[in-house]
Amino acid sequence: MDQEKLLEELVHPADTKMILVVLDGLGGLPLPEREGKTELEAANKPNLDALARASELGLAHPVLPGITPGSSAGHLALFGYDPTKYVIGRGVLEALGIDFPLEPGDIAIRGNFATARFTPQGPIIVDRRAGRPSTEHTVAVCRRLQEEIRRIEDVEVFIRPVKEHRFVVVFRGSGLDPRVADTDPQEVGVPPLPPQPLAPEAEKTARLATIFLTRLAEVLREEPATNFALLRGFSQRPHLKLFGERFHLKAAAIALYPMYRGLAALVGMEVLQVKEESLASQLAVLRQSWPDYDFFFFHVKATDSRGEDGDWEGKIKVIEEFDRHLPQIMELKPDVLVITGDHSTPALYRAHSWHPVPYLLYSRWARYHRDTAGFGERDCARGALGHFPMLYNMNLMLAHAHRLVKFSA
Q: What is the pLDDT of residues 273-311, one digit of tens each?
A: 999 999 999 999 999 999 999 999 999 999 999 999 999
Residue 200 domain-assigned (yes or no): yes
Q: Give the single-character DSSP code of 130.
A: T
- How far is Cα 294 from Cα 363, in angstroms, rounded to an integer? 15
* Helix spans in 150-278 (H): 203-219, 243-247, 258-266
Same domain for 231 and 280, yes or no, is no
**Domain count of the chain?**
2
Burial tier of 188 (Cβ tally within 10 Å: 0-12, 13-18, 19+): middle
Residue 247: pLDDT above 90? Answer: yes
74 & 213 share domain:
no
Can you say whether residue 274 is alpha, beta or left, with left for phi > 0 and alpha for psi between -120 and 50 degrees?
Answer: beta
Q: What is the pLDDT of residue 409?
A: 80
Q: Is the pLDDT score of 3 beyond 90?
A: no
Q: What is the mean pLDDT of residues 173-196?
A: 96
Residue 226: pLDDT band (50, 70, 90) is very high
Domain harbouring 179, CATH code: 3.30.70
* 251 touches 270 (CB < 8 A): yes
Q: What percent of the chain has pLDDT over 90?
A: 88
> pTM score > 0.85 for this model?
no
> Where is the domain boundary, 235, 257, 281?
235
Query: What is the mean pLDDT of the segment spanning 317-341?
Result: 98
Considering the domain architecture, whether residues 228 and 244 belong to the same structural domain is answered as no
Of 164 and 354, the structure prediction assigns the larger pLDDT to: 354
**Enclosing domain of residue 107:** 94-235
Mean pLDDT of the chain: 95
Q: Can you give the pLDDT at residue 369?
A: 85
Of 76-90, 311-325, 395-409, the poorest mean pLDDT is in 76-90
Last residue of a domain, one of 235, 258, 279: 235
Give the three-state DSSP class for 170. Answer: strand
Would you state the pLDDT for residue 370?
80
| Lowest pLDDT segment from 77-91, 323-337, 384-398 | 77-91
252-270 mean pLDDT:
92
- Assess whether 122 and 222 both reside in one domain: yes
Residues 258 and 362 in one domain: yes
Give the pLDDT band of residue 4 (cuts 50, 70, 90).
confident
- The tens digit of pLDDT for each residue in 365-391 reads 999 988 899 999 999 999 999 999 999
Q: What is the reported pLDDT for 381?
A: 96
Across 36-61, average pLDDT: 97
Do residues 231 and 244 share a domain?
Answer: no
Average pLDDT over residues 344-364: 97
What is the pLDDT, as a whole number, of residue 394?
Answer: 98
Looking at the fold, whether 213 and 124 belong to one and the same domain comes out as yes
Type of residue numbered 353: S
What per-residue confidence (pLDDT) applies to 1?
Answer: 62
Contact by Cβ (8 Å): 57, 374: no
136 and 216 co-located in one domain: yes
Q: Are residues 229 and 258 in the same domain?
A: no
